[in-house]
């Protein structure tokens, strides 16, 4: 079992579970709690990027599957 799991949530963020360092383009580290999952914005609408602030609930739709098969009819 890997130490880090990244789950692509339907119509929502990437949920990252496990010990990670989250750094910006300048190499500065974001403060994250070691024992709590973090949600990273996948929709581009968050005002607290790179973190999800639930803005995706205003209409973001994306449900990719590792199999390549669609998750739902569009």
CB 65 within 8 A of CB 74: no
Tokens of 25: 């383009």
Q: How far apart are CA 62 and CA 74, in angstroms?
A: 10
Which tokens belong to 56?
């995706």
Specify the residue, 32 or 54, whose C-beta has the smaller distance to ligand FES.
54
Smallest separation (angstroms) from ligand FES to the CB of 1: 26
- Each residue 13-42 as x (binds ligand FES by CB under 6 A) or -, in order, gives x---------------------------xx
Residues that bind ligand FES (CB under 6 A): 12-13, 41-43, 45-46, 52-56
């Amino acid at each position: 079992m890997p130490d880090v799991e990244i789950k692509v949530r339907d119509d929502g963020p990437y949920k990252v579970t496990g010990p990670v360092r989250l750094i910006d383009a300048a190499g500065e580290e974001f403060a994250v709690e070691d024992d709590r999952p973090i949600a990273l914005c996948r929709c581009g609408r968050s005002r607290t990027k790179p973190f999800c602030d639930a803005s995706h609930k205003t209409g973001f739709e994306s449900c990719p599957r590792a199999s390549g098969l669609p998750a739902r009819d569009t």
